[in-house]
Amino acid sequence: MKIKLWADFIDGPLEASVNGDVLTINGEEIDLSGIPAGYRLPGSAVGNKFFVETDYIERIDGVLNFTLRLPVHWDSPEEFRNPAEPIIIDIQNGVVPFPDTSPPTPEVFEPTPLPEEPENGGFEPA
């Protein structure tokens, strides 16, 4: 399978695995074995919110090709929200290695301790 990722501001985790022509998304099995070479099916026909409705699922040279929505947030890394090149995952079997689009952890700054002031307010005896 060749899975193209489309960044989208949608809620929910995206976990998927592939076993032959069966794609499992968040526990829902989607059997794509019925799509023969040279034919295509609109993404909307699958009925899963992660398939891009306006794109097609098609078999090209024996390989299923389709586009899935990749959940991103407004503060996800720019390389996932607006990639310079489409992100394509080529996988035959196993867990789909989606990129981690979670926002970066904010850097925590530790305050610099102030120097201790002497008890006499900094005055020196005469």
71-87 per-position pLDDT tens digit: 999 898 888 998 889 99
Q: What is the pTM of this model?
A: 0.79
What pLDDT shows up at residue 22? 97
21-55 per-position pLDDT tens digit: 999 999 999 999 999 998 999 999 999 999 999 99
For residue 27, give Cα distances in angstroms to 22, 32, 112, 118: 12, 15, 49, 66
| CA 6 from centre of chain | 9
Using an 8 Å Cβ cutoff, are 32 and 22 in contact? yes
Cα(78)–Cα(74) distance, integer angstroms: 9
Using an 8 Å Cβ cutoff, are 50 and 6 in contact? no
Cα(6)–Cα(46) distance, integer angstroms: 17
